[in-house]
Amino acid sequence: MKKLLLTTLTVFAFSAQADYLGSSHNWNNGSSDPFKAAIAAAESGYAANLKANMAWRDTGAMIKEAKKLQASGNTAGALALADAAHTQTVNAAAQTVAAGSAGPRF
Amino acid sequence: MKKLITAVVSLGLMVGTASAGTDVEADRKAFVGHFKSIKPNVEFADYTNGVYAYDEGSRDQFEEILDGIPPYEEAVEKGGAEFEKFGLGKCAALADPAAARVKHPYYDEAAGTVVTLEGTIRKCYTEQTGKKMGTMKGKLARISAWVSDQAAGEKVNVKVESDGAKAAYERGKATFYAKRGQFNMSCADCHVYQAGKKARADILSPALGHTTHVPMYRAKWGGIGTLHRRYGGCYKNMRAKPIMAQDEVYRDMEFFHQAMSNGLEITDARYRK
């Protein structure tokens, strides 16, 4: 009986929350869409690299190309490219940190 | 993200505080000493010839080109005519072209920034004509080459004296030694540590003396280009995104780069492969 009561209350709580968010809420936003998450990470990383003057040459073009692929329906290709662009931004960020201690080796 | 911002801010603070201990002459001596250690037989004064100080075969070709009519001669003459045509001699900073070349780059205390020869030419051109000028080639490179020709035989003598100048120098130095791009290489990786060695078919030029013959004529370009054009090319080669020519980052790097060649003669032999 207790179990039944708990289950009913839990279901009620979830549905109440869902109603509260309204029909306009995009349930498929953010990390639940792998491409959106990957491209957002790549774009924010690239913006930070540009600000630090440490961006890589091809990252911007890769982001653009990934968006084109996504629009054309090549989801797997788009995701792979967005991830690769994101990886570039992570490496560029690491270079930015290392640049702090850069100096002559003689 | 927070970590990155912290790192960038820390880098700025490190460069800022490092300028308190800046010793340009000690840096220059160590720089020159490094080249002496890798090429003991090359005289300091010969570094004004860049990579041709290292390789006899290339040197012969270089001298043959100079003995004939160098491919940049016409462009430099045109630069002189343009200097007159646009009234650039009316600007106080360019009234004595030879002195202007020797003075630049310098740190402008009032503006709080490094001023390059190209920056002064562009500013003067706008004052005289009301138009804007490019940043890497064409008119700017031709005029800058002609102005530099007037100082041939004079010595590079960059002064880094005030705290502001020292901070700019340190920023430029950090840019020069920082690894960047997909190849994870710094300017120094090629032009200091590996200078004289081969990268594919080309011999890597020594950074010492790089700025004595700028703007340079490059056979690859088929024309004259500024030092910042070359910086952009090197960035691209390392698969890093180039910074705009005449941006503060490159101006600061030029300030450091030129200071390392203090004491070398400015030359009008501006041909490079």
**pLDDT at residue A3 tops 80:** no
Cα distance between residue A57 and residue A88, in whole Å: 10
Structure confidence at residue B201 (pLDDT): 87
If residue B254 lies in a helix (H) or strand (E), which one and from where to where? helix B248-259
Q: Locate B159 and state its tokens.
A: 């002064």
**Cβ atoms of B149 and B76 closer than 8 Å:** yes
**Cβ atoms of B115 and B169 closer than 8 Å:** no
Average pLDDT over residues B182-192: 97
**pLDDT at residue B151 tops 70:** yes
Structure confidence at residue A76 (pLDDT): 97
Structure confidence at residue A16 (pLDDT): 46
Q: Is residue A102 situated within a structural domain?
A: no
Specify the residue for token string 């691209």: B236
Q: Is residue A24 situated within a structural domain?
A: no
ipTM of the complex: 0.86
Q: What is the DSSP string of B118-172?
A: HHHHHHHHHHHHS----SSBTHHHHHHHHHHHTTTTSB------SHHHHHHHHHH
Average pLDDT over residues A87-103: 96
Indicate the pLDDT class of residue A10, thresholds 50, 70 and 90.
Answer: low
Instruction: Share the mean pLDDT of chain B.
Output: 93
- Could you say which DSSP state residue B190 is in? I
The contact set of B with A (CB < 8 A) is 1, 3-5, 7-8, 10-11, 14, 27, 30-31, 33-34, 37, 173-175, 177-182, 184, 186, 188, 192-193, 235-236, 239-243, 249
Average pLDDT over residues A35-60: 98
Cα distance between residue A79 and residue B120, in whole Å: 47
**pLDDT at residue B15 tops 60:** no
Average pLDDT over residues B179-196: 97
Beta-carbon separation of B11 and A99 below 8 A: yes
Q: Answer whether A70 touches B (CB < 8 Å).
A: no
Give Dmax (Cα) for chain A: 78
Q: Locate B121 and state its tokens.
A: 């030419």
Structure confidence at residue B67 (pLDDT): 87
**pLDDT at residue A29 tops 80:** no
Which domains are assigned to chain B? Answer: 22-272 (1.10.760.10)
Which of B1, B2, B3, B4 to mutate to probe the A interface, most A CBs <10 Å? B4
Q: Is residue A5 situated within a structural domain?
A: no
Cα distance between residue B78 and residue A69, in whole Å: 49
**pLDDT at residue B160 tops 70:** yes
Sign of CA dihedral B226, B43, B58, B65: positive
Distance of CA A22 to the CA centre of its chain: 24
What percentage of chain A reaches a pLDDT higher than 90?
67
Give the distance from residue B195's alpha carbon to the nearest chain A alpha carbon, in angstroms. Answer: 14
Could you list the active site residues of B?
234
What percentage of chain B reaches a pLDDT higher than 90?
86
Neighbouring CB atoms inside 10 A of B132's CB total: 9
Cα distance between residue B188 and residue B177, in whole Å: 6
Q: Locate B109 and state its tokens.
A: 């205390």
**Cβ atoms of B206 and B145 closer than 8 Å:** no
From B247, which residue of chain A is nearest by alpha-carbon distance? A53
Structure confidence at residue B29 (pLDDT): 97
Q: Answer whether A99 touches B (CB < 8 Å).
A: yes
Cα A25 to Cα A19, A21, B235, distances in angstroms: 10, 6, 44
Instruction: Give the CA angle between residues A81, A87, A90 to the nearest 5°.
Output: 150
Structure confidence at residue B57 (pLDDT): 87
**Cβ atoms of B271 and B65 closer than 8 Å:** yes
By residue range, what is the domain housing residue A56? 32-96
Structure confidence at residue A39 (pLDDT): 98
Residues in B touching A89 (Cβ below 8 Å): none
> Amino acid identity of B259?
A
From A52, which residue of chain B is nearest by alpha-carbon distance? B8
Q: Is residue A106 situated within a structural domain?
A: no
More confident residue, B188 or B5: B188
What percentage of chain A reaches a pLDDT higher than 70?
71
User: A18-32, A45-59, B101-115: which has the minimum mean pLDDT?
Assistant: A18-32
CB nearest A100 (choices: B14, B193, B243):
B14
Q: Is residue A13 situated within a structural domain?
A: no
**Cβ atoms of B214 and B116 closer than 8 Å:** no
**pLDDT at residue B231 tops 60:** yes
Q: What is the dihedral of CA B85, B138, B143, B74, to 10 degrees?
A: -90
**Cβ atoms of B116 and B251 closer than 8 Å:** yes
Residue B199 β-bridge partners: B202
**pLDDT at residue B18 tops 80:** no
User: A11-15, B143-147, B247-251: which has the minimum mean pLDDT?
Assistant: A11-15
**pLDDT at residue A21 tops 70:** no
Residue A56 β-bridge partners: B240
**pLDDT at residue A32 tops 80:** no
Number of domains in chain A: 1
Cα distance between residue A89 and residue A59, in whole Å: 7
Q: Is residue A27 situated within a structural domain?
A: no
Q: Is residue A19 situated within a structural domain?
A: no
More confident residue, B10 or B253: B253
